[in-house]
Amino acid sequence: MRNKSIFPALVCLLLVLSLLPLTAAGQTVDVGKVCALTVNVGDADAPVAGFPLRLYYVASLDEQGKFTPAGDFARYPVSLNGLTTQQYTDLARTLDAYARQDQLTPLAQAQTRATGSVTFENLNTGLYLVGGSSAVIDGKSVQTDPFLVSLPSRTADGTLAYQVITQPKHITTQVPQEPETVDLRVLKLWQGILEEFLPESLQVHLLKDGAVYDTVTLTKETGWRHSWKALPKYAQDGHRIQWQLTEDVPEHYLVSLGQEGDAFLLTNTYQPDTDLVTRRVQKRWDDVGHTAKRPASITVELLCNGLVYDTQKLSQENSWQYSWENLPAKDQKGEENRWNLREIEPQGYTSKVWQEEDTFLVLNSYKGTKLPQTGQLWWPVPLLTVGGLALVALGLGLKKRQRHG
């Protein structure tokens, strides 16, 4: 590992994991290429030196840009492919919590140099986790969130960068003179399963800087939720405590940990032992001359047996399309799941949804007055030709009768 302040133009400044697909049409990943990852902590005018960082190798990467979990991370029931930016943020939070709880050995550890950066070199292509950290630097408490980064990553112009620079979100605060506390709560969310098939209970572990601080049992009677009051916000040495959450994941479920303010959102998605299917959505527009009136994004809902399974936003950023992978083909009763799509109709447009194989097509047509058609209309020509020939034939027939009359 070594410190660098500037990389060549091929380096990509990455604040979050690049959105899928990692590869575009005609692109393939050079899986044998050596990669490098630089992490900058702080701002350009206020770099944070001496900050500890942990790097984990989460998944390998194939030529098409698909991740396959590697090593200890293969045992965690999570989804790695086809996620949104927010879902990758939640995935980083989830994997970091389990890695710390299970005391996984990082691939590498380092502290930032005087410039606030550190470079991890000689890395294989794949998916990496930079763990969250908290420390007291120059009398101030500095904390970073965990994040995921793909090597290579896509740049703004669509090329693949094998040397990547990242700058994680960080929080810097004064070490308080008096003890401060924080209230936390957890809310359990279930996806893809009927209430009658939910487990009776679920154990959740609250982690304090990676160690189990408290274990609670969530049930239907508790509303699948719990609250902790007056938890310490800072440790005795002044660093901000990192509170995290894990659970004993029930069989046939995926797990994802989100966070909104003081609330942990712990989501389990049903993943039965059954065939898996994929559903896609593509947006089309019928608004020639009125493209400026298109909304910045539209919302679609994936329905499973008439109930909302997932909600996604389509926009220019994701090319007005999205894919749901690893969907259960059958429900808990062994019956085929009926997958449908519904759009929240945008203002000023009509909506039409139909399905072609595993893809839902959404057509939005502008309601206002459309531009008149210009140029020649060719469809009457064949009709007029046939009609003209018929009249000629009729005239010849009448003329022939008159001769014989």
Phi, psi of 244 (to 5 degrees): -135, 175
Question: Which tens digit of pLDDT belongs to each residue from 59-102?
Answer: 999 998 899 999 999 999 999 988 888 999 999 999 999 999 99
State how far the Cα of 285 lies from the Cα of 265, in Å rounded to an integer: 35
Rounded (5°) CA angle 1-86-279: 115
CB 339 within 8 A of CB 325: no
Check residue 385 and give its pLDDT.
64
Check residue 15 and give its pLDDT.
43
| Closest among 99, 152, 102 to 130, alpha carbons compared | 99
Question: Which tens digit of pLDDT belongs to each residue from 274-328?
Answer: 678 999 999 999 988 888 889 999 999 999 999 899 999 999 888 999 999 888 8
Check residue 121 and give its pLDDT.
96
CB 397 within 8 A of CB 320: no
> What's the one-letter identity of residue 113?
R
Q: Which residues pair with 303 in a beta bridge?
A: 308, 340
Whole-prediction pTM: 0.70
Domains, the chain, with CATH or none: 12-174 (2.60.40.10), 181-270 (2.60.40.1140), 276-366 (2.60.40.1140)
Check residue 390 and give its pLDDT.
64
Which positions of the chain have pLDDT values less than 70? Answer: 1-26, 194, 273-274, 369-405
CB atoms within 10 A of CB 359: 15
State how far the Cα of 213 lies from the Cα of 211, in Å rounded to an integer: 6
State how far the Cα of 70 lies from the Cα of 50, in Å rounded to an integer: 30
Check residue 333 and give its pLDDT.
75
Check residue 12 and give its pLDDT.
39
Contacts of 215 (CB under 8 A, 6+ apart): 203, 204, 205, 206
CB 61 within 8 A of CB 28: no
Check residue 295 and give its pLDDT.
92
β pairing state of 263-270 and 181-191: parallel
Helix (H, G, I), strand (E, B) or coil at 99: helix
